[in-house]
Amino acid sequence: MTSTQFLNFHYPVSTEIKDGIFLDISNNLRNPLTAIQMALDLLSCGQLGTLSKQQHHIVEIAANNAQRLIRLTSASKGDREVVNTVISEKELAQIKFEQDLEKALSRNEFSLCYQPILSLKNNKIIGFEALIRWQHPTLGTISPDTFIPLTETSGAIIKIGKWVLKEACSQLCKWQQEFPEHFASLTVSVNVSSKQLANPDFAAEVQQILQETGLKSQSLVLEITETAIIDNDIQAKETLTKLQNAGIRIYIDDFGMGYSSLSRLYELPLNVIKIDRYFVEKLDCPNGNHIIEAITNMAHNLGLEVIAEGVETSEQILKLQSLGCHQVQGYFLSKPLEKYAIAPFVCGEIQ
Ligand code: C2E
Ligand code: CA
Ligand code: CA
* Cα 324 to middle of ligand 1, angstroms: 24
Q: How far apart are CA 280 and CA 72, in angstroms?
A: 52
Residue 37 pLDDT: 75
Q: Is 336 in the pocket of ligand 1 (CB under 6 A)?
A: yes
DSSP 3-state assignment of 272? strand
| The ligand 1 atom nearest the CA atom of 164 | 41
Residue 64 pLDDT: 73
* Cα 292 to middle of ligand 3, angstroms: 15
**What mean pLDDT comes out for the span 195-213?**
96
Q: What is the dihedral of CA 198, 232, 150, 108, to 10 degrees?
A: -40
- Tens of pLDDT along 66-79? 776 776 776 667 66
* Cα 221 to middle of ligand 3, angstroms: 13
Question: What's 34's DSSP letter?
Answer: H
Q: Is 64 in the pocket of ligand 1 (CB under 6 A)?
A: no
- Tens of pLDDT along 220-252? 999 999 888 888 878 889 999 999 999 999 999
Residue 8 pLDDT: 35
Mutate to test the pocket of ligand 1, among 191, 314, 333 (most ligand atoms within 8 A of CB): 191
| The ligand 1 atom nearest the CA atom of 336 | 11
Q: How far apart are CA 246 and CA 262, in angstroms?
A: 25
Q: Is 132 in the pocket of ligand 1 (CB under 6 A)?
A: yes
**Are 321 and 120 in contact, with CB atoms under 8 Å apart?**
yes
Nearest protein Cα to ligand 1, atom 3 = 254
Q: Is 331 in the pocket of ligand 1 (CB under 6 A)?
A: yes
Q: How far apart are CA 166 and CA 264, in angstroms?
A: 30
* Cα 259 to middle of ligand 2, angstroms: 17
pLDDT at 5 > cutoff 80: no
Question: Given the DSSP bridges, would you call strands 249-255 and 327-328 parallel, antiparallel or unpaired?
Answer: unpaired
* Cα 223 to middle of ligand 2, angstroms: 6
**Residue bearing the bigger pLDDT, 94 or 279:** 279
Mean pLDDT of the chain: 84
Q: Is 145 in the pocket of ligand 1 (CB under 6 A)?
A: yes
